[in-house]
Each structure stands twice: as structure tokens, then as C-alpha cells.
Structure 1
Amino acid sequence: MAIFGLLILLTVAFTTFSQSIIQISTEKLTLLASDRISGHRKILKDLYCESWRFTVETNDAGIWDLVPARCEEFVKDYMTGDKYLSDLAAVADNSLAYAKTVKLSGDGKDAWIFDVDETLLSNIPFYASHGFGSEIFDEASFNKWVDMAEAPSVPASLRLYKDLEELGFTIILLTGRTELQRNATECNLQFAGYSNWERLILRKRSDHGKPATIYKSERRKHLEDEGYIIHGNSGDQWSDLLGFAVAKRSFKLPNLMYVVA
């Protein structure tokens, strides 16, 4: 009887232990499956957002209002991370490589055009509190930010800017900012390390309502009429670069936060 009772106890104990093992294994499998599903969903989201980024940078996406909701975190991580800085550096390197092949006339008419916002100056501190493209653009708030004149430089662009100066290019700045923002813009550019530009062109009252592509094309045409040869043009928007009177080479910087027509 003692042996029989011991066998019963051992059987019960083994059964209980086996059930515990099965339960733990089932829970682990459930967690693993959940992690795999979650990981798969993240991979799909990242793939979607990478493809969306590609269409934006190639201008296939056209005009869009807001960053897709599923890509808000992706855009934030990109614009504040090393990938964005690396992409900017690659554009600057390509720009400089081309600039070194240009034979300058030496008459001061060999021009390189730069846009300002997200090209020379970074507004990431502003967008950090305004959704990185996930919120409708608030012009009044942005104008207050411009007036503060505290936007930092885009590091790769500052390096390129100074290299182009040394090569002998005439630097011209062409921005969608208005004449009312001239003082703040000049102060900010100097604060960020820029100097010695030949001209800072801003929107006049007569430019109000013009699409950026038209406005900037007209200003480039005026420069050409003055005898300038526009060898290079750097901007974060396709509207900085397209239209007429285009540069011999145009260089598009990445920007996933907004699009300007």
C-alpha cells in the first residue's frame, strides 16, 4: 500500500509538472507568435514609409498635405536621426564634386543659388513641437519662429557653402520668405555661420499668391538677364529647382515634413 500510494503521488506530481510545462510552452509560443506578428507589422509599416519617402523625394508623390498617419514616427526618427544627416552630406558631396569641375570665368557672374529653409537653415526645433508634418502648417506660429532668428544651420550645407566660396562662386540666396522677414533672415543666417552672400532675394508684395515654381523661375530669369550663369542650385523642394531658367545642375535636399508647390 505504501508503494502504491507513493506511485499515485508521483503520478499526480508528474502530471501537474507536465501541465505546467505545457502551459508555460503555450504561453511562450503565444508571446512569440504575438512578437512575430508585431514585428511583421512593423516591417510592413517601415517598408510602406520607406516607399512613401522614395515617392516624395522623386516627386512622384506630387502635392500632399500631411505625412501619412502611419509614418509620423518614421518621419520624426528620420528627420532627427543619422540617416537624414548622412543623406544631406551625400547631396553636399555630390554638389561639391560637380562644382570642382566648373571652369569659372572670374567675372563674379558664376552663381550658385541656395534656398534658405531646410536648405541652409534647419527648422527642426520648430517642427519638433509642431508634429514633423503631421499637423496643418501654422503660418502665424512659423512666422514667430522666423522672427526669433534662432534656426541652426544645416551642417552639410554650411560646409558646402564655404567650399563654394573658396572655389570662387558667387552665392545668391533665393527664398520664399517675404521682405518683411529680411532682417530676421539676415540675422539668422549670420547667427548660423553664413556670410558674404551676393544677394538675398525674398518675395515682394507683387509675388503674393504666385506658386513657388513660378516665383523662383522668374527670379532666376532676372539673374540670367543680368548676366549671371547659374551653375548650381540647392533646395529642399522641387519647386526650388524646376520651372524655367533652371541651373546647369540642380541638387535636391531631403525633406519629408512638407511640400511647397
Structure 2
Amino acid sequence: MHAPTRFMVLTLLFILFTASTAIASSNIYIHLLNPHYGSGGHKHPDLNCLSWRLAVETNNLQNWTVVPLACKDYVGHYMLGKQYRQDVDLVTAEAYEFAKGLNLAGDGMDVWVFDIDETTISNLPYYARDTVGFGAVPLNLTTFNAWLEEAAGLAIPGSLKLYKKLIALGFKIVFLTGTEEIHREARTKNLKAVGYTTWEKLILREAGDGTGVAYKAKKRKELEEAGYRIRGNMGDQWSDLLGNNAGDRTFKLPDPMYYIG
């Protein structure tokens, strides 16, 4: 009786030890699946910020004006962290795979349309300010326009890499932005300073152009009426991509900091 009993006890102890070790080692992964935590370990019991961001990116959540205060830190950690960079890199890599499979006419009329803000140039130094809070504070056009005039925006690495590859493939580049025409000099300076040195057209918004989907669709229509073929179209807002004359294929970059309808 003694030998079997001891064996059974040792076996039971071994099973318990193995199970506890497996559970302990698996704990390092549990946080990746915990729906109550945002980036950086910030808990948001009343709002699932990851689900909120997903709804924003899929255009299921529309016409919102500010980032929920409970998600300010989450959005900040996302935008400043590696996940945002990896998300952008995935989209731009897919865009390049699509672009290199296209047959260009060689007449200089095949164009790729890029938005500017949060598509080719990042305004994170502005949005990271305490007075802006990654979009958790209502937009102040006066301070934002002053920031634009500084021409201090940063290149988004994945987009800059794609831009250079598209030019090498033979595409002409069109920048289509909702920025007002009065900021053309600053926008031009900023683009060139961070590596976007050449383009076919830089289209800015003039009085009477409207805003959002209608404005972007109108300008794309004018491009096609002038004989250009929009082979690709990239932006951070759905208003960059929806509407008529959107191009052969559109690519949406992540941006949970603001919404343009």
C-alpha cells in the first residue's frame, strides 16, 4: 500500500506543478486578450477603447467630434507606439503590391492620390500637446493653423517609402488636401523638408470648394476630366476615399484622433 500511495501522491504533485507552471507562463499572454485594457495597460471599465477605435476605422462610428476622454491615453499610446507604425506599414506594403501589378500607359497620366495630414505628414507633435490631448479636446482651428504655418510636421515613414517606390514605378503623384489655399507655401515647405520633393499637383481647398466627401470627389472628378487616371487613392479619413471618381483602389490609413465627414 505504501509504494502505490507514494507514487500516487508524487504523480498528483507533478500534475499540479505542471498545470500551475503552464498557467503562470501563459499569464504573459493574457493581457493581449483582455478586452478591458487599452494600450499601455490603462484600464477603461466603462468603455472598450479598442472596440471604439475599430468602429472608427471601419466607419461604423460616424460624425463624432472628440476622442472620448476615457480613451485619450489609449489613443496617445497607440499613435506614439509601434502598433500604429506597424498598421501603417501593412497598409502601405499592400498598396505597393497592388501598384506594382498595374500596367501603366507611360504617358504620365497614371496618378496616385495622397491626402496629406496623417497620411503623408504626421501632426503628432501638435496632437500630443496637453491642450489638444490626441483629439480629446475640441479642435481649435487657430492653433492648428498656426501649427501648419510652422511647417514642422513629420514624414510618416511607411507613406514616404511608398511615395518613393511609386515614383520609381512611373506614377505621377497628386497631393489632395483639405488644407486651405492660404497655407500653400507652408505645406510646400513641409512636404519638401521631409522628403516629398516632387509631385504632379498639390491641390488645396479654395473658397467655395466645400469640404469632406463632396470636396474630395469634386477634385478627383476634375483630375479625371483633365485626362488623368487615378490608379490609387490613399487617405486617413473615409472622406478621402468615399464618393465618385475614387480611383481603381483606395487605401485607408489609421487615424483615431479626429473625424472628417
Give the TM-score range, shorter chain.
0.7 to 0.9
Counterpart for residue 17 of structure 2: none
SS of 1:200's equivalent? Answer: strand
Q: How does 1:88-237 map to 2 (within 5 A)?
A: 88-129=88-129, 130-207=132-209, 210-237=210-237
Unpaired runs of at least 5, structure 1: 1-38
- Contact 2:35 2:48 (C-alpha < 8 Å) held by counterparts: no
Q: Deviations over 1:159-197 (max 9, x none)?
A: 000000000001000000011000000000001111110
Superposition deviation, residue 125 in structure 1 = 0.1
Greater C-alpha radius of gyration: 1
Counterpart for residue 253 of structure 1: 253
Superposition deviation, residue 41 in structure 1 = 5.6
**How far apart are the structure 2 equivalents of 1:154 and 1:229?**
25
Q: Looking at secondary structure, tell me which structure has more helix per residue.
A: 1
1:57 counterpart = 2:60: no
- Contact 2:178 2:211 (C-alpha < 8 Å) held by counterparts: no
Q: Which amino acid aligns with 1:238?
A: W
**How far apart are the structure 2 equivalents of 1:161 and 1:239?**
21
Q: Deviations over 1:96-147 (max 9, x none)?
A: 0000111000000001000000011000000111110100001000010000
Q: Which amino acid aligns with 2:249?
A: R
1:45 counterpart = 2:44: yes
Q: Deviations over 1:224-248 (max 9, x none)?
A: 0011110100100000010111111
Superposition deviation, residue 70 in structure 1 = 1.5
SS of 2:179's equivalent? Answer: strand
Superposition deviation, residue 45 in structure 1 = 2.9
**How far apart are the structure 2 equivalents of 1:91 and 1:41?**
27
SS of 1:132's equivalent? Answer: helix
Closer/same/farther in 2, CA of residues 103 and 150 from structure 1, 3 Å limit: same
Counterpart for residue 20 of structure 2: none
Quote the RMSD (CA, aligned, Å): 1.5
Answer with 132-141 or 47-56: which moved more: 47-56
Superposition deviation, residue 62 in structure 1 = 1.1
SS of 2:48's equivalent? Answer: helix
Superposition deviation, residue 211 in structure 1 = 2.9
Closer/same/farther in 2, CA of residues 82 and 41 from structure 1, 3 Å limit: closer
1:83 counterpart = 2:83: yes
SS of 1:205's equivalent? Answer: coil
Superposition TM-score, scaled by structure 1 size: 0.82
Q: Which amino acid aligns with 2:69?
A: A
